[in-house]
A and B are shown apart, each in its own frame.
Chain A
Amino acid sequence: MSPLRLAERLLQLIPVLLGISVIVFAMMALTPGDPVQIMLGDSLADQAQRDSLRRDMGLDLPVVERFFRFLGNALTGNFGLSFFHRRPVMDVILERLPATIELTLVAMLIAIAVAVPLGVIAAVKRNSLLDRIATVGSMLGVSMPGFWFGILLILLFAVNLHILPVSGRIGFGYEVKMATGFVLIDTLMAGRLDSFLDALRHMLLPAVTLGLAMSALLMRVTRTSMLEALSQDYVTFAEAKGLSRLRVVGRHALKNALIPTVTVAAIETGSLLGGNMIIETVFGWPGLGRLVVEAIFSRNYPLVQAAVLIYATTYVLLNFLADLLYTVLNPKVRL
């Protein structure tokens, strides 16, 4: 991609991000209920104190001015105080963010590790029993409501078999001092292998649940593109040269077949963010998604607003990266 095209593509992000911030701001402005009232609750503040708080929060300004203030603050990461925590919203969010990123990455890794080999085998052994099972499995995977699948896993592995924990991020007694916020890294850095394994056990069920729909989709994409690659002339040629089947599939076809898989994986990582809110609630995972859901019910609107904005921005950037990746991997495509 030429630098000019890249710049153009970057510029196209601006209206999207602006649109997102307008809507996020409007959400707040249109919410029924007076923010000052929500913040003060039943406290005994008199009218003068309420008015002064209103002025401090900039609520007496015209809407347009309030929007530009909000935008300016958002760009510097200032989303005001969390009603509930009485701390800057950004601090609270940053504290929870690593748990969500870690879970999402592990879910993605599991999804790819399951989907790619299955998709390749299903394509190579087309119409075999394994292919049929994989196809039915992927149909089930996309039709499965994630929150219910998570509950089934809890019922089976935690409640009945007692081999995995029900919820949380690490067991009692295994905690280590957090340095990076990523529990798998921190436990290793602390040299606690037992803690690392315990953290891994906690992560298994939520990550599998979160990755399920994605792996179903990735498997289908891999199978389709592998089938297409296998029908190409260069594969026939490689086979005619007398190369082994494994070599033809592994070296020649796979390289091309994986391009759509990688792109879809990058795009789908964005949708995992939405799934996070639900899966983190099911498994009591102390990440950003659960924080947002809790904030919604405690009417902690500044936090909801900031989190939605951060989620949406991440989503847009991930999609942009997926586009980039696609052009880099596939020189035939001009964005």
Chain B
Amino acid sequence: MSSVDAALPAARSREESILAGNLRDFLANRMSVAASLICLAFCLIAIFAPMLAPQNPYETDLLRRLQPPAWMDGGERGFWLGCDALGRDVLSRMIYGTRVSIMIGVAVVLLATVIGTTLGLLAGYLRGPVDIVIARVCDILLGFPYLIFAIGLMAMMGPGLQNIILALCYKEWVLPCRVVRAETLAAREQDYVEAARALGASRWHIMRREILPNILSPVIVVATFRMAYIIIAEASLSFLGLGVQPPTASWGSLVADGRAFLLDAWWVSTFPGLAILALVLAINVASQGLRDAFDPRLSR
């Protein structure tokens, strides 16, 4: 017992130095750091939306119908990116739309990661029938076309925040589940797990306290990568009119709002789309840096 305790601090400090090294690698990659800062900025915009938005995003004013951006003829200070067909300020609606995109992205990835990690740990550690059942369900879900079923689910369940999260989650957990299962299978044969088992630790304790902390980095890498996809998927659903309902602003529905007025008001569709591109690009670049630093095995 005492020898195990004595070995622990040494192991932990080595673990920390690996993490610190990973972090140093990540911080050395200037592109990824810049991209992470952009992601952070978007999060701050989402949190402080009511303070940042120059106008009320829901206030319609038909006199300002399709008013151009501030720097163009007919533009007006305070309505920087112009107005939509109901005279609502595009910039303010975009700022509020950030909330929807980020909230849904985070909620879906978080939920999927928690479900996937739990099932992956159970499958990988317990093996046997539990593993077989979970693996079969994963196989079946992997055969499902993601967006088509999400669209079908939204069509049937009807729009709404909770339903979008469910429609995007239905198969999202499969990926973290598979990654965690594979990592757990490898980890359960390691000495530290063997030692914990010899000390009489419960299965639950071993999964949660011994294995989980050691396999977290691939889980985090996968989660950040998927966030980009989920944000585009949510925007696509909202664009089709299957996302959050009006008058709530979502980037996808803002792009759709401007589609009918492309001839005389290009700004209504263009700026919200640019916001989606900026956030998704930033997440992709940041997660690539994260992957290179924390889990080089996943690099292609």
Contact = CB atoms under 8 A, between A and B. Distances in A.
Interface stretch (A20-28, A93-101, A119-127, A199-207): A20-28
Contact of B148 (A19, A140, A311): A311
A114 interface: no
B140 A270 contact: no
Contacts of A142: 284
B130 interface: no
A106 interface: no
Q: Interface of chain B, helix or strand or loop or mixed?
A: helix
Interface string B111-152: 000000000000000000000000010011101111111011
B145 A148 contact: no
Given A24-B152, A147-B236, A296-B242, A311 B145 contact: yes
Interface of B: 136, 139-141, 143-149, 151-153, 155-158, 228, 232, 235-236, 239-242, 252, 255-256, 258-259, 262-263, 266, 269-270, 273, 276-277, 280-281, 284-285, 300
Contacts of A277: 147-148, 151, 240
8 contacts: A16-B140, A23-B144, A24-B152, A31-B156, A32-B158, A143-B280, A144-B277, A278-B236
B148 A308 contact: yes
Contact of B255 (A144, A148, A154): A148
Contacts of A335: none
A17 B252 CA distance: 32
Contacts of B146: 271, 274
B148 A274 contact: yes
A304 interface: yes
Contacts of B151: 274, 277, 292-293, 296, 308
A30 B158 CA distance: 11
B143 A315 contact: yes
A271 B147 CA distance: 8
SS class of chain A's interface: helix, strand, loop or mixed?
helix
B269 A145 contact: no
Interface in A133-149: 139-140, 142-148
A143 B240 contact: no
A151 interface: yes
B35 to A, nearest CB: 10
B140 A19 contact: yes
Contacts of B256: 147
Nearest to B151: A277
A162 to B, nearest CB: 12
A304 B152 CA distance: 7
Given A148-B269, A296-B242, 16 more contacts: A16-B140, A23-B149, A142-B284, A143-B281, A145-B255, A147-B255, A151-B258, A151-B259, A155-B266, A155-B270, A271-B147, A273-B148, A274-B147, A277-B147, A277-B151, A316-B143
Contacts of A315: 143-145, 148
Contacts of A256: none
A60 to B, nearest CB: 21
A144 B152 CA distance: 23
